[in-house]
Amino acid sequence: MSRLLRPRLLIPLAAGVSVVAALVGLADMGKVLVALRGFRAVYVLPIVALIVGYNLVRGLLWYYLLQRVDVRPPLRTVVFSYAVGEITKYSPVGNYVPNYLLHRIRRANFGLSSAATTYVPYSEMAICLLALLALGLDHWTWLRPAILGGLALLALSATTVVRLGWKPPLPRILRRRAVLEQLHSFLEASKALFRPRVLMVTGLLGATYLLAAAGALLLIARGFGVTSLSLPSAVAAFCFSLLLTLVAPLPTDVGALELSGTGALLALGVPGARGVAIMLFNRLFTVGVALAAAGLVSLLFPQQLSAAMADRRMPAV
């Protein structure tokens, strides 16, 4: 329990919840509550089905990437680690809990598996950028030039760093031998992931599950009676909110996703109260499905659960 009460975990989550509360207040809490009560339950099952599909395809992508970096634990272990990781990813560094579990259960190389995990959000970032360049976001005419300008600046900065041969000094913790070994494994695995076939499969699977997530957002909007939102608009809104949470150096996306998503929906003509309600329900469904999946796999795979809970630690680094 003391680990769950650590300030570095509680403070980011409390800040995120505060942002959500402020967002509800700005949109008029009374109107938001009225919108929430008006949700039509007929959309619940299709929304859950799309979110389940999102998780299945995203998990399949992670499994595929693990294979490419020569991390080959049993499928049950991968499913268990991924499902549990989906409920911890909202905490700081929670994205790497699945890698920690793979190491605890099957002693999988943490550096290799973390390369696959890191690859997923970066591929999502690339897909979201391409989607926003293709679709735009209604009256936000500045969005495409901003994206192109940012990409150009990033490319120029990277080129300058490479040509100057600048190598930043490593923090003391990264100079430890065990950490250096894991870092070397990470870099070697990363090279294996930047191959045409891997990029193509990643793009296909990534676009599929992001489309499913955007479809769930669209159905949530329909549940609140918003008929003006089209699928391309829902894709653009979802990609914008996801991209900001991936780019922004925040320890958790709680609050940031709701704020950016509501802003995108406002740009698309969705009323403020309904926009907030849509993003709140989006979080509710996402977290609910993740909790249900984690509970289910814990019941189905007791051996993996026991191994994960065993009293042993990762090697000191």
DSSP-assigned states of every residue in 29-53: HHHHHHHHHT--GGGHHHHHHHHHH
> What pLDDT shows up at residue 188?
80
- What amino acid is encoded at 30 in this protein? G
Q: Taking residues 184-197, report their average pLDDT.
A: 84
Check pLDDT > 60 for residue 317.
no
> What pLDDT shows up at residue 169?
59
Length of the chain: 317
- Residues 132 and 136: their CA atoms lie apart, in Å, by 5
Q: Which two tokens stand for residue 123?
A: 């591929």
Q: Taking residues 198-223, report their average pLDDT.
A: 96
> What pLDDT shows up at residue 166?
53
Check pLDDT > 90 for residue 234.
yes
Check pLDDT > 60 for residue 31.
no
> What pLDDT shows up at residue 314?
43
> What pLDDT shows up at residue 177?
56
Q: Report pLDDT digits (tens) over 53-111.
A: 999 999 999 999 999 999 999 999 999 999 998 888 877 667 888 998 998 888 888 88
Confidence band, pLDDT 50/70/90 cuts, at residue 164: low
Q: Taking residues 299-308, report their average pLDDT.
A: 88
Q: Which two tokens stand for residue 203?
A: 């793009």
> What pLDDT shows up at residue 35?
61
Q: Taking residues 266-286, report their average pLDDT.
A: 87
Query: If you average pLDDT over every residue of the chain, what do you get?
Result: 81
Check pLDDT > 70 for residue 3.
no
Check pLDDT > 50 for residue 34.
yes
Check pLDDT > 80 for residue 124.
yes
Whether 40 and 227 have beta carbons less than 8 Å apart is answered as no
- Residues 311 and 313: their CA atoms lie apart, in Å, by 7
> What pLDDT shows up at residue 206?
96
> What pLDDT shows up at residue 26?
45
How much of the chain, in percent, has pLDDT values that exceed 70? Answer: 76
Confidence band, pLDDT 50/70/90 cuts, at residue 181: low
> What pLDDT shows up at residue 82?
94
> What pLDDT shows up at residue 15?
45
Whether 66 and 276 have beta carbons less than 8 Å apart is answered as no
Q: What are phi and psi of 237, to 5 degrees?
A: -65, -45
> Which one, of 57, 113, 85, lies nearest residue 304 by Cα?
85
- What amino acid is encoded at 51 in this protein? I
Q: Taking residues 10-38, report their average pLDDT.
A: 51
Q: Taking residues 112-139, report their average pLDDT.
A: 91
Check pLDDT > 80 for residue 5.
no
> Which one, of 240, 231, 260, lies nearest residue 137 by Cα?
240
Check pLDDT > 90 for residue 289.
yes
The contacts found for 220-223 with CB under 8 angstroms, 24 or more apart, are 220/43, 220/47, 220/278, 220/281, 220/282, 220/285, 221/265, 221/270, 221/274, 221/278, 222/40, 222/43, 223/39, 223/40, 223/42, 223/43, 223/44, 223/47, 223/281
Confidence band, pLDDT 50/70/90 cuts, at residue 148: confident
Confidence band, pLDDT 50/70/90 cuts, at residue 259: confident
| Alpha-helical regions (H) of the chain | 7-26, 29-37, 44-68, 75-88, 97-106, 110-135, 143-164, 177-193, 196-223, 231-247, 256-267, 272-300, 302-309
> Which one, of 23, 27, 33, 87, lies nearest residue 55 by Cα?
87
